[in-house]
Amino acid sequence: MSAGENSLPPEAADALAAVVALRRLADQLEDAAVEQAMRAGWSWPQVSEALGVTRQAVHKKHAKRLIAAGVKLRRRGDERV
């Protein structure tokens, strides 16, 4: 057992805070990137495949916001050939 086991080393605080900050940055990036893709005419299946999550998850997280922002969303069957 190490002596400092019960203390809170500052490096741990920095590492944990970095996790929080990275999550926030990732969320901001996701919001911006999904909006950019949808404005550029990507479909939900394409965006979800790029992010590696289900279409439902992407839709649930972003659809309302993008519709409110006036982004024209492609509907199913609208796929480009």
* Residue 50 sits in the site that holds another protein (CB under 8 A): no
Q: Among 1, 2, 4, 13, indicate the residue that binds another protein (CB under 8 A).
A: 13
Helices 44-51 and 55-68: angle between axes, nearest 10 degrees: 120
Q: Using an 8 Å Cβ cutoff, are 71 and 38 in contact?
A: yes
Which of 24, 57 has the CB closer to another protein? 24
Taking the complex as a whole, how short is the minimal distance between the CB of residue 65 and another protein, in angstroms? Answer: 5
31 to 9, 12, 19, 60: CA distances (angstroms): 34, 29, 18, 12
Which of 26, 79 has the CB closer to another protein? 26
Q: Using an 8 Å Cβ cutoff, are 58 and 44 in contact?
A: yes
* Residue 28 sits in the site that holds another protein (CB under 8 A): yes
Which listed range, 42-50, 51-59, 60-68, 73-81, lies at the site for another protein (CB under 8 A)?
60-68
